[in-house]
């Protein structure tokens, strides 16, 4: 928690915020070993970053006097990430990595090798997803929550959503055995598609390429989804 | 498990191997849903890769008829990774990521912000470390185990080991706020140092720079150790 991310609910009047959820209180006490008078980094959801003084901390709440939150959060990556829905624990970590790295648009996609039961996972609940996004933001000192969308059908996604997404973005599908190595140092808007464990099936790859995506690879090593997502984002941008 | 990594103990005479540990048996049955007659990717520890036919599988053992294991494993990264010892769960995942990405030399280093208790963790036992390395190799279809060394004192490491390590390698220390952005697409031998959560302290950074390392950063975002390790390796090489 390199930043205490304040939601509108955390704000009292007149430059004072209070935090009441056990997770953050515990972190402040046990990890930060924070004491009244300490100055910590605060940010307001969707807004600026600054410092604040801890006024009080007990098991019930922490109160802060906020300075001006006038610093901009770190820049976002120019990417929309389309991720074949990973198994729940992998999803959680992939969301945290991607959010920490600055991804602001994530679509979770069904594909043939995604187990249907994954769509029933409690990890897909709004609160659980938000939890992992907030962890990523707190880690990277960011304040802008990514937007998450679900695409529960591969064909409707490709036929109805993908053309619009590709209108202003370069589409890249990461898949072992594709002809081109992952490009580096991109700055233009990009749509990055990452398959499930086991990969997209051939038919899916054909549809994505036919829609205008370029196939890229990260070399001969097969990586876990969460490793691949981080490696792709770090190499691309 | 994209490769069944055979240790010398797994080999019987005349091109037959058997696997008896519950983890791999379970994975073969439950994840691969393997049946006698299936052809799977096999590799021999420290050696080649090829295919083999599953002869039998029950709760006690799996037996394979091995073809020639004559393919080379994927190339290694030209890097020696020096990682300030992370907390145990982060260590486990960082070892898996780094191994999957092709790192062959890892030194776990003490530094001021490493909690001393981490050095007592069962995760540092030979068997536990080997377990995580094997998971990384199985994931990436590699056969060469990384070498792990422990450096339990920062000053002795810098004074006694670092000069030798830097003799034939470019030293890079990744640390927020360093003047240079992480370079890209390196091919020369590199020593990469990554600090603990909270970072190296100023004195440590000074010592590393004075020893000839270059300070590099990954941008304004503060990343978790496991995210940073993957991102650095993917961007550097």
The closest of B32, B100, B81, B59 to B225, measured between CA atoms, is B81
* Cβ <8 Å between B74 and A227: no
Neighbours of A126 (CB within 10 A): 8
Residue span(s) of chain B under CATH 2.40.240.20 come to: 4-66
Helix axes A88-101, A225-236, angle to 10 degrees: 20
* Cβ <8 Å between A234 and B222: no
- pLDDT, tens only, A137-192: 999 999 999 999 999 999 999 999 999 999 999 999 999 999 999 999 999 999 99
Task: Collect all residues of chain B within an 8 Å Cβ-Cβ radius of residue A142.
Answer: 221
Query: How far off is chain A from B13, nearest CA to CA, in Å?
Result: 30
Mutate one of B2, B227, B230 to test the A interface: name it (highest A CB count within 10 A).
B227
The closest of A73, A57, A75 to A65, measured between CA atoms, is A57
Sign of dihedral through CA atoms B68, B74, B78, B80?
negative
Tracing tokens 């990452």 back to the chain, one arrives at A194
Q: Please, are residues A125 and A82 in contact by the beta-carbon 8 Å criterion?
A: no
Mutate one of A31, A222, A225 to test the B interface: name it (highest B CB count within 10 A).
A222
Q: What gap in Å lies between CA A11 and CA A26, rounded to an integer?
A: 19
Q: Please, are residues B135 and A227 in contact by the beta-carbon 8 Å criterion?
A: no
Among the partner residues B184, B219, B233, nearest to A184 by beta-carbon distance: B184
Task: Collect all residues of chain B within an 8 Å Cβ-Cβ radius of residue A96.
Answer: 224, 227
The closest of B149, B152, B157 to B207, measured between CA atoms, is B157
* Cβ <8 Å between A233 and B231: yes
The DSSP symbol for A11 reads B
Look at strands B4-6 and B190-194 and give their pairing: unpaired
| pLDDT value of position B178 | 96
Query: How far off is chain A from B159, nearest CA to CA, in Å?
Result: 32
- pLDDT, tens only, B21-67: 999 999 999 988 999 999 999 999 999 999 999 999 999 999 999 99
> Which superfamily, per CATH, for A4-66?
Hypothetical PUA domain-like; domain 1 (2.40.240.20)
Among the partner residues A142, A221, A224, nearest to B141 by beta-carbon distance: A221
Helix (H, G, I), strand (E, B) or coil at B96: helix
Q: What are A187's two structure tokens?
A: 């700055």
Residue span(s) of chain A under CATH 3.40.1280.10 come to: 79-236
Each residue's pLDDT, cut to its tens digit, for chain B (237 residues) gives: 899 999 999 998 779 999 999 999 999 999 889 999 999 999 999 999 999 999 999 999 999 999 989 999 999 999 999 999 999 999 999 999 999 999 999 999 999 999 999 999 999 999 999 999 999 999 999 999 999 999 999 999 999 999 999 999 999 999 999 999 999 999 999 999 999 999 999 999 999 999 999 999 999 999 999 999 999 999 999
Q: What gap in Å lies between CA A142 and CA A125, rounded to an integer?
A: 22
Chain A to chain B Cβ contacts (< 8 Å): 79
CATH T-level topology, domain B79-236: Alpha/beta knot (3.40.1280)
Among the partner residues A96, A139, A221, nearest to B101 by beta-carbon distance: A221
b/e B117-148 (16+ beta carbons within 10 angstroms → b): ebeebebbeeebbeebbbbbbbbbbbbbbbeb
* Cβ <8 Å between A234 and B221: no
Among the partner residues A74, A185, A220, nearest to B221 by beta-carbon distance: A74
Q: Please, are residues B99 and B137 in contact by the beta-carbon 8 Å criterion?
A: yes
Q: What gap in Å lies between CA A148 and CA A81, rounded to an integer?
A: 10
- pLDDT, tens only, A14-43: 899 999 999 999 999 998 899 999 999 999
Q: What are B136's two structure tokens?
A: 């990384």
Q: What are A22's two structure tokens?
A: 């056990």
Task: Collect all residues of chain A within an 8 Å Cβ-Cβ radius of residue B100.
Answer: 221, 223-224, 227
ipTM of the complex: 0.96
* Cβ <8 Å between B74 and A219: yes
């Amino acid at each position: 928690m390199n930043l205490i991310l304040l939601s509108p609910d955390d704000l009292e009047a007149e430059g004072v915020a209070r935090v009441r959820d056990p997770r953050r209180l515990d972190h402040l006490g046990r990890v930060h070993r924070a004491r009244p008078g300490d100055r910590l980094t605060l940010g307001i959801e969707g807004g600026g970053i600054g410092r604040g003084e801890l006024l009080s901390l007990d098991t019930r709440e922490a109160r802060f006097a906020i300075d001006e939150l006038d610093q901009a959060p770190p820049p976002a990556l120019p990417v929309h990430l389309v991720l074949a829905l990973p198994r729940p624990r992998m999803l959680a970590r992939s969301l945290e990595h991607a959010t920490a790295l600055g991804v602001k648009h994530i679509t979770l996609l069904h594909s043939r090798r995604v187990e249907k039961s994954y769509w029933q996972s409690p990890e897909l609940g709004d609160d659980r997803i938000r939890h992992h996004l907030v962890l990523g933001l707190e880690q990277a000192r960011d304040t802008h929550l990514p937007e998450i969308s679900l695409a529960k059908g591969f064909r409707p996604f490709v036929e109805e959503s993908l053309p619009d997404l590709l209108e202003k973005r370069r589409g890249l599908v990461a898949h072992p055995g594709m002809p081109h190595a992952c490009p580096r140092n991109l700055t233009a808007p990009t749509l990055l598609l990452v398959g499930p464990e086991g990969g997209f099936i051939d038919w899916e790859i054909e549809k994505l390429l036919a829609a205008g995506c370029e196939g890229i690879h990260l070399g001969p090593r097969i990586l876990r989804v969460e490793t691949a997502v981080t490696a792709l984002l770090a190499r691309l941008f």
